[in-house]
A and B are shown apart, each in its own frame.
Chain A
Amino acid sequence: MSLPSTCVLDACFIIDWARWSKRNSLWRVFSFGFVPEPVLREISTSGPLRVLREWMSAGFLTVYPSSRDIEDEALRLIVEARRNPRIPRIDPPEAVCVALARRIGAVVLTENRGVIRAYEIARENLAPAVVWNSLRLLAYLYATGVAVSSSFEELVAEYEQEVKHTFSRREVVRVAKEFGILRA
């Protein structure tokens, strides 16, 4: 699977990954990442801020400053999503992540279901951006051997225990199928 080498991080992803002991495996998948300014403004607690500092000082992460054209595109995405009742709402910080990822061809890492579902329902509309939640990144880490575990389910369980964020079991199975790592 060919994956863009750049990622764009949203706030919930940062908040969760700051708690995971294997968080730096992120930089074995991506060579570089952006955190848009509106996302950065949502981070105020010491744990996530410390991780951002570490990643920024290591040269992995850069703050992407607000710009009128990206914010205009983000607004268009929000309005488009609101027209589709099947898609949960998309808020400005996540929309900025997607607008930036579309511009540069990057992977958006987010836990926002609106963004994830907008991507699932019509990937071509958001291309060349790719949108993943943590579960999909975990599947990729497992499938590529970056994260070693006895099974994908075990890796997910370990993540859930450390991060205190639980996934739908149905989604775990669906993602395992998507990445070809479903146990028989």
Chain B
Amino acid sequence: MPRSSGSFELEELLKEWEEEDRELRELRKRRVDREYVASLPSRLREAVELYVEQGDLRLACELSGLPLDEFVEVLRRAGVWAG
């Protein structure tokens, strides 16, 4: 397993994280239910779009103004809960 001690292993791990983040972003963009998202109130819609783009659950949840579990349910309905 990669550890902080090996700089090569660390670089490999960082590259892997980048690839995983890219894969998840593409997946969210591909799967998002645009019609459902368009039907949401503007604040919630922007929060879901932020999550689709960045995958940052906490940031998007703060923007939504919803409790965490309610926001995750919205992400599920939008087809983008991933990561």
Interface of A with B (CB < 8 Å)? Answer: 11-12, 15-16, 42-45, 48, 86, 88-89, 91, 111-113, 117, 120-125, 164-171, 174, 178
Residues on the A chain within 8 Å of B55, using CB = 113
Is there an interface contact between B3 and A43, defined as CB atoms closer than 8 Å?
Answer: no
Residues on the A chain within 8 Å of B31, using CB = 166
Is there an interface contact between A89 and B23, defined as CB atoms closer than 8 Å?
Answer: no
CA distance A129 to B64 in the complex (A): 32
CB distance from A51 to the nearest CB of B (A): 11
- Does B53 make an interface contact (CB < 8 A)? no
- Does B27 make an interface contact (CB < 8 A)? yes
List B residues 52-71 near A (Cβ within 8 Å).
55-59, 67-70
Interface of B with A (CB < 8 Å)? Answer: 1-4, 10, 13-14, 16-17, 19-20, 23-24, 27, 31, 55-59, 67-70, 72-73, 76, 79, 81-83
- Residues A122 and B3 in contact in the complex (CB < 8 Å), given A15-B69, A44-B67, A88-B56: yes
Q: Within the complex, which residue of B3, B4, B23 is in contact with A169, where a contact is CB–CB below 8 Å?
A: B23
Is there an interface contact between A12 and B72, defined as CB atoms closer than 8 Å?
Answer: yes
- Residues A178 and B81 in contact in the complex (CB < 8 Å), given A12-B68, A42-B68, A168-B23: no
Q: Besides A165-B82, A171-B20, 19 other CB < 8 A contacts?
A: A12-B57, A43-B69, A44-B67, A45-B73, A48-B69, A89-B56, A89-B59, A113-B83, A117-B17, A120-B2, A120-B13, A123-B1, A123-B3, A124-B3, A165-B76, A168-B20, A168-B83, A170-B19, A170-B23
Residues on the A chain within 8 Å of B58, using CB = 89, 91, 112
Q: Within the complex, which residue of A12, A91, A166 is in contact with B82, where a contact is CB–CB below 8 Å?
A: A166
Residues on the A chain within 8 Å of B57, using CB = 12, 111-112
Q: Within the complex, which residue of A91, A121, A169, A171 is in contact with B10, where a contact is CB–CB below 8 Å?
A: A121
Residues on the B chain within 8 Å of A42, using CB = 67-69
Which secondary structure dominates where chain B touches chain A? helix
CB distance from A109 to the nearest CB of B (A): 15
- Residues A164 and B81 in contact in the complex (CB < 8 Å), given A122-B4, A169-B23, A170-B19: yes
CA distance A113 to B31 in the complex (A): 21
- Residues A166 and B27 in contact in the complex (CB < 8 Å), given A88-B56, A117-B17, A121-B13: yes
In the assembled complex, 15 residue pairs joining A and B whose CB atoms fall closer than 8 Å, in A order, are A15-B69, A42-B67, A42-B69, A45-B67, A45-B69, A86-B14, A111-B83, A112-B57, A121-B13, A124-B4, A165-B76, A166-B82, A168-B20, A168-B24, A170-B16
